Amino acid sequence: MIRVNNKNLEVGLEKAAFVIYLIVLILSPLLFGAVHAYAYTIMTLGVLFASLLLIKNNIKKDLKTGIYRFNLPSTSLNFCFILLLFFMIFQIVPLPGFLLELLSPESLIAGKKSLPASDLAGMDSRISEWFSIASYNYPIRMSIIRWTVYGLFFIGFSQTLNSRKRIELAVVLILITGCFEALYGLIETFSGSGHIWWYKKERYLGDVSGTFLNRNHFAGLMEIIILLATAYAASISARKKRNESIPGNKKNRLRAGLGRFLSGERRFNKRILILFAGSIMGIGLVFSASRGGIIATGGGLLCLSLLFIFRKRHRRKGLIVLFMFLIIAIYSINIGIEYPASRFEYFGESYKVRARWAQKALDLFKDYWITGVGVGDFQYAYPKYQAVEKEGWFIRHVHNDWVQFLAEAGIVGFCLMLIGVSYHIFKTMKLWKKRRDPFAVSLGAVPLAAMAAIALHSYSDFNLHLPSIFLMLTAVMAVGYSALHTEKHHGMEKSFYPYVSIPLKYKGILILIPLLTLIVWSGYWITRHFIAECYCNTVTQYMTLNRDQHPPRHEIEKAIKWDSKNADYWFKLGWKLKKVMQATLPGNEWDSKNGQKEKMDVIRAFEKFVSLNPLMPEPHLYLGWEYAGLWQRRDYQQKWLPAADRSMERASYLTGDYHLYVHENLGNYWIMRSKTISPVDPEWHTAWANARWHYKKVLSLKRGKDLKKTIEKIKKYVWTHYPDERFIRDALNQK
């Protein structure tokens, strides 16, 4: 009785985990692609909870020895998951200065810039200070959480897809989700409504994007599911029957023959319905007008057809790929393909723009070439290298996941990724070549085709930064993995996976405790992150929820209590305190005792930001001006003015061609600073030369009306300090 109850409990836990995985998988794309904090929090907690259920289910008592054992699924992606997980953890581990200088000199420089500029004496003596490779740890923490979710989802979802029935159920639900996305997007686009749920689209109004804000991300989802639909249609084929005669009378033989005929017809109809569903998604893909998505889907279908051609008994399945192409083309031409086709006329121009972005990202890579700037830190380090043509843009992704990951992970991380993925492909191909069953061969090929399509699309977009797309890719890989391990057993088709059975004594505990710690740690921080975001939003794509980007001070402070490692909260707090001070204190009281106290609160907030994220120039610039405003303090000349100089030097180091606003402010600072120095002092000439250099940088990159406005602004500022035309001309580098 006890064994029966335990068996029922195991089945119940596994079924519950399977249902949770499916709910998370379907909800993630529907909720704007899971780019919002609430959406990816649901995704994360769902996967973590389901994984805990499976861990409980995988701890079993050996009836012979009485020892509890932990059965760890041994998948071909475990190696890749562990490699990159340890690498990301390594990026946030503090290292001694001499070792960090060897691995990443730029990280050591950035680490020193995170120390308080006001502590100049301590700054020079802190040679033994330890810093991590990633200068800003918060994005790495979020990357570790997401990577943990993706890895656990693949391992857990593969384990729950333990029969053909479950595999087909998962595939059908994925196809339904894809069809809904395509139909919903087509209806919203061609009806003129242009909504995504309650949100009125502001961009891509004429393009199909489903429930995604970006058409390219919608296309990324479509390409994965279209490949799955094609492979699933190819997997449905009649099985070979034995030549033996059917026992029984003539009536029984007739009934059996009719049953075979009808079952064959059902298979044919099922295949047509699947191809039709894939065609709907294909039409949605075409009218998304995503050039990268269309090309990547074509590449994925080509890869799938080649895999079929390489297998002699499955070459006819290549006709299914051709049939899919024809259906999509016929329907698209009838609807009107002129607009999507016209976008390819600008393909060369768009490619050049993205190539420039990629080149700038490679410049970043050259400075962090060994171990990278940090997986997730790209958006904070990139502005230093950003081209002036994109002034005013904050580029979070370079539209090339290959180059961006190379910059974030360096040669070491990139090679680890290639090794892990190559190992998975090798193991998959090895197993795929051995299988003969059409179901296993067809669905077992789709992960390879999907990976090829995403790899191709990632050259021009950043789909893998969308949680829902990465999760869907992982789900399709799990489907293929499970199909390859499906075999007929006692009349039923079940999946048999390799497990590593570890006694829960020494080795087992050493594996189980870190795994549970990682899950609990991920759940703990994603929950705190979500609560903090409820008070003060810093995650992108906030517009769909109409969130206030400038909440009251008390809400920002609550967010900091929940997640103090997010530097953006401290920046918002410093900015809010500064605005409040300007609004409540008259200009003549800013230098009063009360005004000095308010300034110190602003300084502490900006210093905290810099200590967490020293990569951006603006906080250093703001700190420099705040330091310079403490002129009533007794230690102003000895401490605060040198601190202002140090902050401005940091801002100058971190400012590339992109930050013309910062260059202009730096020029203004050094003009002001020169007035505090005697003209006969050599430091006066240094300050004046700094001002001229920054002004020259701004004027050399400005054009047209912007150039004229900037010249007038600089003239007015210089005149307030040096009311002499000679100084103005000299500051503007004019003869």
pTM above 0.85, yes or no: yes
pLDDT at 466: 93
**461 vs 11, residue with greater confidence:** 461
Distance of CA 607 to the CA centre of its chain: 28
Picking from 464, 461, 380, 368, the residue whose alpha carbon sits closest to that of residue 407 is 368
pLDDT at 69: 87
Picking from 354, 359, 223, 226, the residue whose alpha carbon sits closest to that of residue 295 is 223
Give 680: exposed, middle or buried? Use CB within 10 Å, 0-12, 13-18, 19+.
exposed
Question: Please, what sign has the CA dihedral across residues 405, 407, 409, 411?
Answer: positive
Lookup: tokens for 700: 């050399």
Q: CB–CB of 436/463 below 8 Å?
A: no
Around Cβ 245, how many Cβ atoms within 10 Å? 7
pLDDT at 246: 44
pLDDT tens for residues 317-354?
Answer: 776 676 666 666 665 555 555 555 555 555 556 667 77
DSSP, collapsed to helix, strand or coil, labels residue 135 as coil
Question: Please, what sign has the CA dihedral across residues 294, 296, 299, 303?
Answer: negative
pLDDT tens for residues 548-605?
Answer: 888 999 999 999 999 999 999 999 999 999 888 777 766 555 566 666 778 888 999 9
Tokens 């040669």 identify what position? 411
Q: What is the mean pLDDT of the chain?
A: 85
DSSP tally for the chain: helices H, then strands E: 28, 7
pLDDT tens for residues 39-81?
Answer: 999 999 999 999 999 999 998 887 777 788 888 899 999 999 9
Quote the CA–CA distance of 310 and 315 in Å, as a whole number. 7
Give kind and range of the element (H or E) at residue 71. strand 68-73
Give 548's DSSP letter: -
pLDDT tens for residues 154-194?
Answer: 999 999 999 999 999 999 999 999 999 999 999 999 888 88
Let me know how long the chain is: 735
Quote the CA–CA distance of 394 and 386 in Å, as a whole number. 9
pLDDT at 585: 64
Work out the angle at residue 240's Cα, subtended by the Cα atoms of residues 239 and 243, and round it to the nearest 5 degrees: 145
Listing from the earlier edge strand, what are the strands of the sheet with 68-73? 59-61, 68-73, 499-503
Q: CB–CB of 227/453 below 8 Å?
A: yes
Picking from 468, 515, 448, the residue whose alpha carbon sits closest to that of residue 308 is 448
Give kind and range of the element (H or E) at residue 271. helix 250-286
Domains of the chain in start order, with CATH, are 2-93+132-240+259-488+496-510 (no CATH), 561-731 (1.25.40.10)
Distance of CA 209 to the CA centre of its chain: 19
- Mean pLDDT, residues 538-557: 83
Does position 223 have pLDDT exceeding 60, yes or no? yes
pLDDT at 266: 58
List residues bridging with 163 in a β-sheet: 494
Distance of CA 347 to the CA centre of its chain: 25
Does position 152 have pLDDT exceeding 50, yes or no? yes
DSSP, collapsed to helix, strand or coil, labels residue 163 as strand
pLDDT at 121: 47
Lookup: tokens for 71: 């059965």
- Three-state SS sequence of 272-314: HHHHHHHHHHHHHHHCCCCHHHHHHHHHHHHHHHHHHHHCHHH
Q: CB–CB of 93/131 below 8 Å?
A: no
